[in-house]
Amino acid sequence: MQYIKQILTVFSVGLILFTMYTQNDKITELKTTVLKQEKLVDSLQNDLFLSKMMNGRYELALDYLKATNAKAAKQFETYASKETE
């Protein structure tokens, strides 16, 4: 009976240390996952920015083409809306 308290104390401390160790591993794993996801989001935001920029350039070029060569602009719009699907 006198050893039961000591055994329970050692067991409890061991269980607490094991739990802390496994939680720290999981926390580290989750932090790594979060960093990877943040990098992916940043990359996608950069790609989106570049796509929006190129789209804006095409819109400006089409507006210029409409002002300088309406027939070619109409052909371009027709091709872009029907032939590229």
Q: Which residues, in sequence order, are CB contacts of 65 under 8 Å at separation 6+?
A: 72, 73, 76
Neighbours of 79 (CB within 10 A): 10
Q: What is the pLDDT of residue 74?
A: 93
Q: What is the pLDDT of residue 27?
A: 93
Q: pLDDT of 19-67, one tens digit each?
A: 998 898 899 999 999 999 999 999 999 999 999 999 999 999 999 999 9
Q: What pTM did the predictor assign?
A: 0.61
